[in-house]
């Protein structure tokens, strides 16, 4: 029965879908504020793929490997990078500390999640802000790269998200 209610809520309309996921992740951040829990993605594994991690990162190897795999497809060193759907901030923090962008920005629809990230991460080249994937609060051509890991299920319109992504990316 609960799964039917859940399915109904996320399929009524794009607006309802976005409302539901905002509430879901807000409650999640409130109920699980543990700073040790930095990632929410499923992770990535491949034979022979083992990026070197610090001992403190080792416990989250598979989620970090997903970020590492995606974020190293291009050279981010010295670039301005945006993560849309930054969640608990672990991915953005990993990129900021290990792949050396000039600046890393993470946006999320949940104000509570953003507040949690800002309280956990004290890294010079990173900031977190509340932001809408379909109406991003940035100037045209502001970022060199956009990262999106397992958050598009929250978007009301993939077409709007992609349009915004193209708008804020530098040519």
- For residue 134, the domain's CATH number is 3.40.50.150
**Percent of residues, the chain, with pLDDT higher than 70:** 99
Q: Could you give the CA distance from residue 14 to residue 18 in angstroms, rounded to a whole number?
A: 6
Which structure tokens are listed for 77? Answer: 């060193």
Q: What is the mean pLDDT of residues 73-85?
A: 98
Name which residue leads in pLDDT, 48 or 78: 78
Structural domain of 46: 2-168
Helices 61-71 and 90-98 pack at an angle, to 10 degrees, of 60
Q: Which residues of 55-77 are buried (b: 16+ CB within 10 A; e: fewer)?
A: eebeebbebbbbbbbbbeeeebe
pLDDT of residue 6: 66
- Work out how many domains the chain is built from and give that number: 1
């Amino acid at each position: 029965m609960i799964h039917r209610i859940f399915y109904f809520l996320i399929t009524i309309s794009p607006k309802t879908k976005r409302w539901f996921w905002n509430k879901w992740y807000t409650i999640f951040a409130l109920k699980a504020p543990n700073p040790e829990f930095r990632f929410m993605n499923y992770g990535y594994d491949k034979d022979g793929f083992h990026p070197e991690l610090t001992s403190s990162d080792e416990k989250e190897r598979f989620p970090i490997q997903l970020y590492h795999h995606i974020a190293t497809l291009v050279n981010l060193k010295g670039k301005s990078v945006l993560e849309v759907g930054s969640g608990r901030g672990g991915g953005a923090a990993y990129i900021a500390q290990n792949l050396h962008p000039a600046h890393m920005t993470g946006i999320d629809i949940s104000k509570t999640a953003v507040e949690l990230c800002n309280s956990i991460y004290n890294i010079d080249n990173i900031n977190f802000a509340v932001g809408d994937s379909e109406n991003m609060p940035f100037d045209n051509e502001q970022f060199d790269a956009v990262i999106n890991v397992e958050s598009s299920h929250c978007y009301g319109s993939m077409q709007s998200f992609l349009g915004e992504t193209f708008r804020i990316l530098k040519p």
